[in-house]
């Protein structure tokens, strides 16, 4: 249904706004016109706000990147160019990842994503190795709080009186 509406809208727009059959429309211009027509302003604002506050949280790196990419479509002024997009992406990562990556100058989102995935994989491998090494070096379980049994002298049976 949206595709049909979009086709009708685009054909009409080409006839009325772009005379002489000139279809030489920049992609950014098309996206701007499309969003103005099909994405209500309150939805645009909501998505932009979500991008501003987006953090990785419990998402995997790839889940976070997918959500980031989706929201970025609605916030062209926040992610004006690739460098800013990469910087915004990095700032939303978990602190343990961000602290290892923020010093590097990632020129594109793809560079930032690639570095993030490598670092995340390295961290997971390190944690697995550390866990395995702790299991190997841990002494067998021994109870340290053994109860002391008080010595009791054997009691002689009391003879029954007759």
Alpha-carbon dihedral sign for residues 112, 51, 60, 136: positive
Residue 39's CB is within 10 A of a number of other CB atoms, namely 13
Domain residue extents for the chain: 1-38, 40-131
Q: Indicate yes or no: pTM above 0.75.
A: no
Q: What's the pLDDT band for 115 if we cut at 50, 70, 90? A: very high
At residue 66, the pLDDT reads 97
Q: Which pair of tokens denotes residue 146? A: 């053994």
The 10s digit of each residue's pLDDT in 10-60 is 788 777 776 655 667 777 777 778 878 888 889 889 999 999 999 999 999
């Amino acid at each position: 249904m949206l595709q049909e509406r979009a086709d009708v809208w685009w054909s009409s727009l080409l006839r009325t706004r772009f005379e002489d059959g000139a279809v030489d429309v920049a992609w950014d211009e098309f996206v701007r016109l499309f969003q103005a027509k099909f994405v209500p302003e309150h939805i645009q604002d909501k998505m932009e706000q979500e991008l501003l506050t987006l953090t990785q949280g419990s998402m995997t790196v790839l889940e976070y990147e997918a959500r980031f990419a989706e929201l970025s479509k609605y916030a062209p002024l926040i992610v004006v160019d690739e460098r800013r997009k990469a910087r915004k992406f990095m700032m939303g990562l978990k602190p343990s990842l961000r602290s290892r990556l923020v010093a590097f100058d990632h020129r594109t989102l793809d560079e930032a994503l690639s570095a993030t995935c490598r670092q995340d994989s390295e961290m997971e491998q390190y944690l697995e190795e550390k866990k395995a090494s702790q299991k190997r070096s841990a002494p067998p379980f021994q109870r340290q709080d053994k109860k002391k049994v008080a010595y009791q002298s054997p009691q002689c049976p009391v003879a029954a009186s007759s």
